[in-house]
Amino acid sequence: MHREREIRILADAASIAKRAAEEFVEAAAAAVRQRNAFRVVLAGGSTPKALYELLASDPALREQVPWGKTQVFFGDERHVGPSHPDSNFRMASEMMLSKVPLHANQVTRIKGEYPDAERAAHEYEEALVKYFKLKAGELPRFDLLLAGMGNEGHTLSLFPGTKALHADGRIAVHNWVGKLFTERITLTAPAACAASEILFMVTGGDKALALKGVLEGPYEPEQLPAQLLQPKDGKLVWLVDTAAGSMLSKGIRE
């Protein structure tokens, strides 16, 4: 199950952003060599924010990304509009998308502003089917999927005990999250696991126990949904800071 899993324990969030940027550039180059296109799924949250800022502002990194051949997608979205402070799209746009040479048709966002979250999920699913030219039952093959993890083990908007954990056959779904009293729109675990690479970025001591459970505990994804994200045919990389990784007995400490 963990044959191609790599766990790296880094000093801090800045170190994670730097290493993640290197992975991003490497994945982009490999994808362009193979099929002349790079399909990346962005994540929300504070840790990816530092990565996006670095990719947009560091001249050396920015120059290495094949922006003209990049197609951007999102792993999940809050049930809010694109200008809302909680919007994953807004954060990614402010930190990176608006600052690099990307055209509007290179970014496929989730329309969280719809009152009906299922409509947003369905439209996003349809957009992915169209872009990847998928037949019935097929899943998109992203080149790189970025992910984070909450202190209770959720990832994307796949929260413990929620219906989206059992949405087999779907690419994207809406998901009621009772503890937050809100709907979310999210890629399903099978869709995420079809990616060539999944890159987790995790920071903070409040996540240490859940991270140990995800990486070293029994496989119980109903409790720890982050366990679901394991590529069926690809690479899995965990970049965690020393606080988040403080309880791990495995991993390369740098």
Each residue's pLDDT tens digit, 147-202: 999 999 999 999 999 999 999 899 999 999 999 999 999 999 999 999 999 999 99
Each residue's pLDDT tens digit, 19-56: 999 999 999 999 999 999 999 999 998 889 999 999 99
Is the model's pLDDT at 2 over the cut of 70? no
Is the model's pLDDT at 125 over the cut of 90? yes
The pLDDT, as a whole number, for residue 204 is 97
- Kindly report whether the global pTM for this prediction surpasses the value 0.75: yes
Is the model's pLDDT at 4 over the cut of 80? no
Pairwise CA distance, residues 139 & 41, whole Å:
14
Mean pLDDT of the region 114-140 = 98
The pLDDT, as a whole number, for residue 168 is 82
Pairwise CA distance, residues 130 & 132, whole Å:
6
> Residue 124: which domain range?
5-187+210-253
Contacts of 247 (CB under 8 A, 6+ apart): 208, 209, 211, 212
Query: Is the CB of residue 3 less than 8 Å from the CB of residue 235?
Result: no
CA distances to 62, 151, 153, 239, 248 from 227, rounded to whole Å, are 32, 13, 8, 15, 15
Pairwise CA distance, residues 73 & 96, whole Å:
13
Is the model's pLDDT at 231 over the cut of 60? yes
Pairwise CA distance, residues 102 & 92, whole Å:
13
Pairwise CA distance, residues 94 & 155, whole Å:
22
Contacts of 50 (CB under 8 A, 6+ apart): 13, 14, 16, 17
Alpha-helical (H) ranges within 114-236 are 117-132, 189-193, 208-216
205 inside domain: no
Please name which of 90, 100, 200 lies closest in space to residue 153, comparing C-alpha atoms.
Answer: 200
Residue located via tokens 């505990």: 217
CATH number of residue 229's parent domain: 3.40.50.1360
CA distances to 68, 74, 145, 230 from 91, rounded to whole Å, are 21, 12, 17, 26
- Residues β-bridged to residue 240: 9, 202
The pLDDT, as a whole number, for residue 1 is 45
118 inside domain: yes
Mean pLDDT of the region 87-112 = 98
Number of domain units in the chain: 1
192 inside domain: no
Contacts of 124 (CB under 8 A, 6+ apart): 108, 110, 111, 171, 172, 185
Mean pLDDT of the region 97-109 = 98
Pairwise CA distance, residues 84 & 99, whole Å:
19
As given in the structure block, the two tokens for residue 250 are 């495995």
Pairwise CA distance, residues 19 & 13, whole Å:
10
Q: What percent of the chain has pLDDT over 90?
A: 94
The pLDDT, as a whole number, for residue 3 is 54
Mean pLDDT score of the chain, rounded to an integer?
96
195 inside domain: no
